[in-house]
Amino acid sequence: MTPVYFDNAATTALRPEVVTAITESLNDQFGNPSSTHSFGRSSKALIEKARKSIATTLGAKPSEIYFTSGGTEADNIVIRCAARDLAVKRIITSPIEHHAVLHAAETVAAEYGIELELVNIDDRGYVDLNDLEQRLSCENAPRTLVSLMHVNNEIGNLLDIEKVAELCEIYHALFHSDTVQSVGHYHWDLSKTPVHFICGAAHKFHGPKGIGFLYMRSDIHLNSLIVGGGQEKGFRAGTESVHNILGMEKAFSLAYENLANEKEYVQSLKNRFIEGIRTRFPKAIFNGGCDNFDRSTYTLVNLRFPITGDKSTLLLFHLDLKGIACSQGSACQSGSNTGSHVLRAIDADEFPSLRFSFSIFNTIEEVDYVLDVLIDYLA
């Protein structure tokens, strides 16, 4: 069996067309986009074409799209600059956000003396919208930023983003959503969804690493966090990574051109995996809402096996020896011995958990192979 890559929530393989787009750019578009000569103007024109393409697909304006190094930078820009520039005095988030949000919020709260509140979640990790409304509607509430992710990167829970946006609009709160796991996987119409900020990272939808974007609604103004030049309309200094931007735009366009068929295919892989787990490992426990097809993303499964001792300790290592790549949590936590804050928050860390995440490059045969390896090991 050739190696099986089931860690697509961490990063995805590049589409061949994306590799071609990047290579052609590296060969042909080396001009600095800030230069006024023809080489620079050519690069600049392609960047703006990519910006317009992404914006149009999202139902946004080109002027609302800012290129960044990825989702972490975009999250940090929003949280830090909202405190500095928008008089935000309170941040409401959840205990199961990505650390790009949680750590940024904790740091900013300490630096600026801002209130930091964690909204309640239920035992499967879903945000308690009644609790959120109570917090937003409290008397004399300060200027508030709500930061809640659309798709949880570890357990796959889907947020009712339309409802949260509606609550934020009613109570005049700013709404930021870490959408790194959902951009490229779900349709968006930002002209109808009153969210102020979302972000994307190309490597989550078969694009290159080191490039992403921030959507910032046109009625919001933040000052630059990175200074030193006038790039990105003066919002983010630094020479633009032309080849990465063009690679991201190609991956983004292909993701949405093929979304319906590819979503159905990836969902079929998840369905088969869950059915196989339920049949072969009836004592396995699905974490969060990942086995709820209506309220979780179609791309990942997170589950735990009630095993202890060496079998528990060596489970991930055994899968790696068999050529199977999966994870115990977010890739950003690799090297950490603290375990998953997401699983701790929902009391799901008693036994070893594994996250399997799927993409268009996976097959039914790979799913069956992984199930066979698991049953051999756990028998």
Residue 215 belongs to domain with CATH number? 3.40.640.10
Which residue range(s) make up the domain with 9? 4-13+258-378
Check residue 329 and give its pLDDT: 62
CB 170 within 8 A of CB 135: no
Q: Are residues 63 and 208 in the same domain?
A: yes
- Domain count across the chain: 2
DSSP state of 346: T
Domain final residue, candidates 232, 257, 282: 257
DSSP state of 111: H
Q: Are residues 350 and 365 in the same domain?
A: yes
Q: Are residues 8 and 85 in the same domain?
A: no
Check residue 186 and give its pLDDT: 98
Question: Per-residue pLDDT tens for 126-179?
Answer: 999 999 999 999 888 899 999 999 999 999 999 999 999 999 999 999 999 999
- The yes-or-no answer on residue 332 being catalytic is yes
Question: Per-residue pLDDT tens for 311-361?
Answer: 888 999 999 999 999 998 655 545 455 689 999 999 998 888 999 999 999
Bridge partner list, 117? 92
Check residue 354 and give its pLDDT: 96
Helix or strand holding residue 91 (H, E) = strand 90-93
Task: Indicate whether 97 pLDDT > 50.
Answer: yes
Check residue 351 and give its pLDDT: 87
Mean pLDDT over each residue of the chain, to the nearest integer: 95
* Closest among 129, 131, 124 to 152, alpha carbons compared: 124
CB 165 within 8 A of CB 179: no
Find the CATH number of the domain harbouring 333. Answer: 3.90.1150.10
Q: Are residues 98 and 137 in the same domain?
A: yes
Tokens standing for 346?
Answer: 């929902």
Check residue 337 and give its pLDDT: 54
Burial of 223 (0-12, 13-18, 19+ CB in 10 A): exposed
How does residue 278 score in pLDDT terms, banded at 50, 70 and 90?
very high
Q: Are residues 26 and 162 in the same domain?
A: yes
Burial of 365 (0-12, 13-18, 19+ CB in 10 A): exposed
Please give the order of strands across the beta sheet that includes 300-304. Answer: 285-286, 300-304, 353-357
Burial of 159 (0-12, 13-18, 19+ CB in 10 A): buried
Q: Kindly name the residue from 81, 199, 326, 332 that is annotated as catalytic.
A: 332
Task: Indicate whether 203 pLDDT > 80.
Answer: yes
Q: Are residues 337 and 286 in the same domain?
A: yes
Check residue 350 and give its pLDDT: 84
Q: Which residues contact 312 (CB under 8 A, 6 or more apart)?
A: 305, 351, 352
Tokens standing for 140?
Answer: 């004399």
Q: Are residues 35 and 141 in the same domain?
A: yes
Bridge partner list, 186? 183
The pTM for the full model equals 0.95
* Integer CA distances (angstroms), 261 to 254, 266, 268, 292, in order: 12, 9, 11, 21
Buried b (16+ CB within 10 A) or exposed e, 307-321: beeeeeeebbebbee
Q: Are residues 322 and 279 in the same domain?
A: yes
Q: Are residues 251 and 313 in the same domain?
A: no
**Residue 279 CB coordination number (10 Å):** 10
Domain final residue, candidates 257, 272, 298: 257
Tokens standing for 360?
Answer: 């268009």
Domain final residue, candidates 257, 274, 291: 257
How does residue 25 score in pLDDT terms, banded at 50, 70 and 90?
very high
Q: Are residues 9 and 30 in the same domain?
A: no
Q: Are residues 194 and 272 in the same domain?
A: no
Q: Are residues 165 and 302 in the same domain?
A: no
